Chain A
Amino acid sequence: MRWPQGHPHDPPPGGIDLSVGSVMAVAGALAPIIFLSDWATANPGLGLAASIAVPLLVAALCGLFNGVLIALLGVQPIIATLIFFISGRGIAQVLTNGNLQTFTNPDFTWLGTGRLLGLPVQGWIALALTITIALVVRRSLYGRYLLSVGGNERAATLAGVPVARVKITTYVIAATLAGLAGMIVVAQNSASDAARIGQLMELDAIAAAVVGGAALSGGRAPIFGALLGAVFIQLMGYTLIANGISDEMTLIVTAAIIVLAVWLQRGARA
């Protein structure tokens, strides 16, 4: 017999990553440290490569840490990623002694300010990654496994899905992308301020994913929806500010849009 389902308080089986902002800060702080070092000034080519690769690797390790806590030790995602949320920014500040690092490195800043075929490089990067991830989720074994783990973890385990591996991979990917985003922010500003990079970014990311229609309880992930959501929230912010609407009103409007989006989705799913 079936009884009414779907109370909003069922613990969401899907994960969440609160640490993305902090991971951005770590990667963003690390990159200038590397290419401003004596070694990198002596070997500009290698230095640039290392200043991109090492922060990404460190970000991936942060994701691995989250993933291991969640997948192998069974810590709830919101708690596990809370650890980096609290301490990650501190680590970045320790790395930079809390100082603002400014630099001029045209090769690196190209990531944030360069243009390709008239469009910003970072736009190309976002687009390329979005397409890749959408394809991965739709077409690949990993993507299907990801959706099945989000939808019903026990059933997925019984069907032979390597659940722990899928979860760890997911947190590693999320953290690596956050690391990349952190470096783009730094490249854009030609400066790295560990206290500010990616601040409250996790909330923006969640809001974007929600507005774009990722079912918050996991199991469905419209990647293009999330991109559209992000673009929409940003555009709206710019538009409101350009029209003389203040920052604070923009926050309130964003809040209203999140509520509207979630409410509409509930209606569609019921």
Chain B
Amino acid sequence: MIGTLLRQGHLAVWVALAVLILFGTLRYDNFASAYNLSSFLGYNSMFILISVGMCLVIMTGGIDLSVGTVAALASVVAAMLSPLGLAVALPAGMAAGLAAGALNAAMITGLRLPPFMATLATMLAAKGAALWLADNRTVPVDWTSDFTALGMNKVADLLPWTILVALVAVVIAWVVVDRTPLGRTILAIGGNAEAAHLMGLKTRRAEVFVYLFSGACAGLAGVFLASGYGAGQPLEGAGWELAAIAAVVVGGTLLTGGMGSVTATVAGALLFGLVFNLLNFENGRGTISLSANWQSVIRGAFLLIVILLQARLARPVPKT
């Protein structure tokens, strides 16, 4: 069992997460503080969301490059509608994400375009749409409505609302993958798309679902962005898709599809967030000073280490 976990990289990511948390707790005074925990979770709830959406897409052997700009588009939509309150702006932002997801699904299952190209097109189009709607500016939200409550409020001063919403999405994804025929179909498509079709599985429905789900997650992440940072940001989200892919990969999901874990993906997303968080603390101690520029270098190096570890762990086991 442990051997299987190791091979799939699941255990490795949890162990790495635990080690980093332990390291941070021992080294920095305020690391384990309620303030750090809640701001960490608040910031990373967006990445958890899009990573989980991406995880489902990648399980089918597909990819969704559009999540970053779709989130930006949704943030603009939500910010523009923020005067009408959260009850309107949140569904509207998600609807923008769902629309992008529907577009992806239509191109991929209808026109049979490769997911890489289809979602690349949506990525460009969503950016264009976001800039057009926002008139090339950031769109401030209406602070007098209840819109910002989503991004600012916390339960018991500790858990941001956003992380709870993200958690709901994680649970949905987990239940779907582990407990429903739809989830098995998703994994079967990634394992062998032709076989899944010939087995009579409803492959098209499953593909439509994953792109819609990913789009909805991206839309929701955009609403978080607008609500938590007070503005719809049409230029935000660049590179989010790759951060999400990195989180999925670190979580041990194979990019070729057919295998993967929703929970390990969440761990992967948290792991990346944690590296940032620790770097900030290290800077705060003043012993070394790493500019923001170094952070991406270190993140890349981190990805490299994980990939090298996985290349060793995931080496195919000889058949017995």
Bound form: Cα–Cα A3–B122 in Å? 32
A93 at the interface (CB under 8 A from B): yes
- In the complex, the number of residue pairs spanning A and B with C-beta atoms less than 8 Å apart equals 158
Distance between B112 CB and nearest chain A CB, rounded to angstroms: 6
Residues of A within 8 A of B296 (CB): 86-87, 89-90, 93
Distance, CA A102 to CA B294, complexed state (A): 22
Tell me which of B22-30, B32-40, B186-194, B276-284 binds A: B186-194
Complex contact B61–A207 (CB within 8 A): no
- The answer to whether residues A86 and B303 also contact, given A11-B256, A94-B294, A210-B117 and a CB cut-off of 8 A, is yes
Q: Which of A38-46, A75-83, A152-160 contacts B (4 or more CB under 8 A)?
A: A75-83
Distance in angstroms from A121 CB to nearest chain B CB is 30
Instruction: Evaluate contact between A79 and B307: CB separation under 8 angstroms.
Output: yes
Q: Residue B202 at the A interface, CB < 8 A?
A: no
Q: Are B124 and A8 in contact (CB under 8 A)?
A: no
Contacts of B118 in A (CB 8 A): 259, 262
B108 within 8 A of A: yes
Q: Is B255 interfacial (CB 8 A cutoff)?
A: yes
Interface flags for A48-72 (1: CB within 8 Å of B; 0: not) read 0000000000000000000001000
B115 interface residue (CB < 8 Å to A): yes
Q: Place the interface of chain B in its size category.
A: 35 or more
Q: Which residues of B contact A258 (CB under 8 A)?
A: 117, 120-121, 124
Contact residues, A79-137 vs B (CB, 8 A): 79-80, 82-91, 93-94, 97-98
The verdict on B288 contacting chain A, using a C-beta distance below 8 Å, is: no
Given the complex of chains A and B, what is the CA–CA distance between A258 and B120 in angstroms? Answer: 9
Are the C-beta atoms of A85 and B124 separated by less than 8 Å?
no
Q: A83-B300, A94-B291, A206-B120 are in contact. Are A263 and B128 (CB under 8 A)?
A: no
A246 at the interface (CB under 8 A from B): yes
| Interface residue from B120, B130, B249, B304 paired with A203 (Cβ < 8 Å) | B120
Closest residue of chain A to B114 (Cβ to Cβ) is A8
Judge whether A139 is part of the interface by a CB distance below 8 angstroms. Answer: no
Task: Please give the distance in Å from A135's CB to the nearest CB on chain B.
Answer: 28
List B contacts of A76 (CB < 8 A): 255-256
B129 within 8 A of A: yes
- Whether, in the assembled complex, B55 has its beta carbon less than 8 Å from a beta carbon of chain A, the answer is no
- Chain A's interface size range is 35 or more
Q: Which of A73, A78, A249, A262 contacts B117 (CB 8 A)?
A: A262
- The distance from the CB of A212 to the nearest CB of chain B, in whole angstroms, is 13
Closest-by-CB residue of A relative to B295 is A90
A87 in contact with B299 given A98-B293, A259-B107 (CB within 8 Å) = yes
Instruction: Encode contact with B along A216-239: 1 for CB under 8 Å, 0 otherwise.
Output: 100000000000000000000000
Cα A249 to Cα B124 with chains together (Å): 10
Interface residues of B in 234-256 (CB under 8 A from A): 238-239, 242-243, 245-246, 249, 255-256
Chain A residues lying within 8 Å of B190, measured Cβ to Cβ, are 9
Q: Which residues A14-56 have CB closer than 8 A to chain B?
A: 16, 18
Which chain B positions have C-beta within 8 A of A94? 291, 293-294, 297
Residue of A nearest to B118 (CB): A259
Is B128 in contact with A252, judged by CB distance below 8 angstroms? yes
B116 in the interface (beta carbon within 8 A): yes
Report A246-270 CB contacts with B as 1/0, cut-off 8 Å: 1111111011101100110010000
**Separation of A200 and B112 alpha carbons in the complex (Å):** 25
Q: Which residue of B lies closest to A251 (CB)?
A: B128
For residue B293, give the distance in angstroms from its CB to the closest CB of chain A.
Answer: 4
Check: A12 CB closer than 8 A to any chain B CB: yes
Q: How far is the CB of A260 from chain B (nearest CB, A)?
A: 9
Judging by beta carbons under 8 Å apart, are A85 and B242 in contact? Answer: yes
Contacts of A75 in B (CB 8 A): 307, 311
- Determine whether B132 belongs to the interface, using a CB cutoff of 8 Å to chain A: yes
B238 / chain A contacts, CB cutoff of 8 Å: 199-200
User: What distance in Å separates the Cβ of B232 from its nearest Cβ neighbour in chain A?
Assistant: 14
Residues of B within 8 A of A256 (CB): 121, 125
Least CB separation from A5: chain B residue = B194
Shortest B306–chain A CB gap in Å is 10
A251 neighbours in B (Cβ, 8 Å):
124-125, 127-128, 131
Can you offer 20 A-B residue contacts whose CB atoms are under 8 A?
A4-B194, A8-B114, A10-B193, A11-B257, A12-B116, A73-B311, A76-B255, A79-B249, A83-B304, A84-B300, A85-B242, A90-B295, A199-B238, A207-B120, A248-B131, A248-B136, A250-B128, A254-B124, A255-B121, A258-B124
